[in-house]
Amino acid sequence: MKKLSERDKKYLWHPLTQHKRHPTMLGIHRATGAILIDEDEKEYIDGIASWYTAMYGHCNPQITQRVAQQMLQLDQVVFSGFTHEPAIALSEALMEILPYNQAKLFFSDNGSTATEIGIKMALQYFYNKGEKRTVMLAFEEGFHGDTFGAMSVSGLSSYNGPFEQHFIAVERIPVPTSETIGKILETLEERLKKEDVAGFIYEPLVQGAAGMKMHHSEHLCRILRVLKLNGIITIADEVMTGFGKTGTNFASDQITVKPDILCLSKALTAGLLPMAITSCTQKIYDAFYEDEIVKGFFHGHTYTANPLACTAALAALELLRSSEIQSHIQRIIKNHQEFNKLVKDHPKVESTRQLGIIYALDLKTQTARYGNLRDQLFAHFMEQGVFLRPLGNTIYVLPPYVVSDAQLQKVYAAILSALDIMP
């Protein structure tokens, strides 16, 4: 039989890929812990937890066994008019760790739909109240997904270019720094006088797709406070940051002003099955709780609250709250800190940053987001047996919590060797 990489070419169209430049995909046929294994039995350390999902390791038996048991009892059922134990149990467990003001959970399929739902909730909240507020605010360089509402509030033109004429009304504000926060607040307060802004969506503390760019909680807090005082719905997109990656269960735990709406996916189900949740406050829910049917939230997905995905998420939550995983998080943080001491003054490194298990460095060179240098770095890392996906001139590490110290050292060594061969 032909290799996976050859069979793949006939019918498959891959995401974020210009196939004329990259016609061949690597065939991965199994995975365990922090390791991906290709069809030639070569191993790769998964340095980004497969897009921040498989945080407890691939094929974790504590999750797969629970899902296998659930599969024999209830695999799928419509969530409109029905409910089931996995969804209820997950809601109860999740509410124990969500920010204190969250009250209701709405299920969907992925990160884009989680944010899409948050945006729709904010817009319909004011529609139901009879107020004409149709503008969304978002940070510059934010990324919130690939559906139309999510694209609208995202600020990365490499993803959005062909579709911008179809977007909802969005205005962007700069990500705050110590030097700019005063001016941002002044401009924001003046802008809000028009009373047409419905919501503000933001990635708290870390903008993932922008290159793991980080901002301070106190500055974000000041922005959120102004928005709250003006009745604007705040939407925290924690699709990437959620479930321990920033050192706390959610990045919002490090911010005094809590969001009205919070979006979750990726590590929610530990990478095993697709699912997302958009949570909200009682105030948001109450705006839809009316005798008029049209004021309900008429959004639905076929696999909403799939029992298998809910079971995976519940098992993942139990792992997150375990002393073992919490210890791993602290261990990874310390490893990153030690590596930072080694690399931060390297002549080819412009800057470094870290929050929780997220570590990033910027190279002293500029390159296109998916340009030649990025491709060369990716190829070098894979040759070293390390799976990392540079974002332009940013190299970042976001490993599974179960990665070993030895595996982390191999990741760091691959980065150092990449720096040595750069022009």
Phi, psi of 305 (to 5 degrees): 55, 40
| Residue 65 forms part of a structural domain | no
Whole-angstrom distance, CA of residue 14 vs CA of residue 290: 43
Query: Please, are residues 333 and 320 in contact by the beta-carbon 8 Å criterion?
Result: no
Q: Do you know the residue count of the chain? A: 423
Are 393 and 406 within one domain? yes
CATH number for the domain that contains residue 29? 3.90.1150.10
Q: Are residues 338 and 398 in the same domain?
A: yes
DSSP category for residue 316:
H
Residue range(s) defining the domain that contains residue 401: 4-59+323-421
Are both 111 and 229 inside the same structural domain?
Answer: yes
Q: How far is CA 137 from the centre of its chain?
A: 19
Tokens of 70: 């659930």
The end-to-end CA distance of the chain, in Å, is 41
Q: Is residue 130 part of a domain?
A: yes
- Considering the domain boundaries, does residue 335 fall inside one? yes
Is residue 171 located within the same domain as residue 280? yes
Domain count, the chain: 2
Round to whole Å and give the CA distance between 12 and 25. 10
The single residue listed with the structure tokens 């490090």 is 254
User: H or E segment at 167?
Assistant: none
Is 67 contained in some domain?
no
The residue from 320, 349, 375 where one domain ends is 320
Answer yes or no: do 311 and 369 share one domain: no
The residue type of 221 is C
Q: Give one DSSP letter per residue of 204-251, joined into a string.
A: SSEETTTTSEE--HHHHHHHHHHHHHTTPEEEEE-TTTTTTTTSSSSG
Q: Say if residue 193 is in the same domain as residue 285.
A: yes
Q: Which of 283, 302, 320 delimits the end of a domain?
A: 320
The answer to whether residue 64 sits within a structural domain is no
Of 320, 341, 361, at which residue does a domain stop? 320
Do the Cβ atoms of 80 and 300 come closer than 8 Å?
yes
Residues 203 and 92 in one domain: yes
Q: Are residues 19 and 41 in the same domain?
A: yes
One domain for residues 45 and 97: no
Residue 138 has φ and ψ, to the nearest 5°, of -155, 160
Radius of gyration of the chain (CA): 22
Do 127 and 198 fall into the same domain? yes
Q: Are residues 124 and 212 in the same domain?
A: yes
pLDDT in tens, the chain (423 residues): 889 999 999 999 998 888 998 899 999 999 999 999 999 999 999 999 999 999 999 999 999 999 999 999 999 999 999 999 999 999 999 999 999 999 999 999 999 999 999 999 999 999 999 999 999 999 999 999 999 888 899 987 666 778 878 889 999 999 999 999 999 999 999 999 999 999 999 999 999 999 999 999 999 999 999 999 999 999 999 999 999 999 999 999 999 999 999 999 999 999 999 999 999 999 999 999 999 999 999 999 999 999 999 999 999 999 999 999 999 999 999 999 999 999 999 999 999 999 999 999 999 987 766 668 888 999 999 999 999 999 989 999 999 999 999 999 999 999 999 998 887
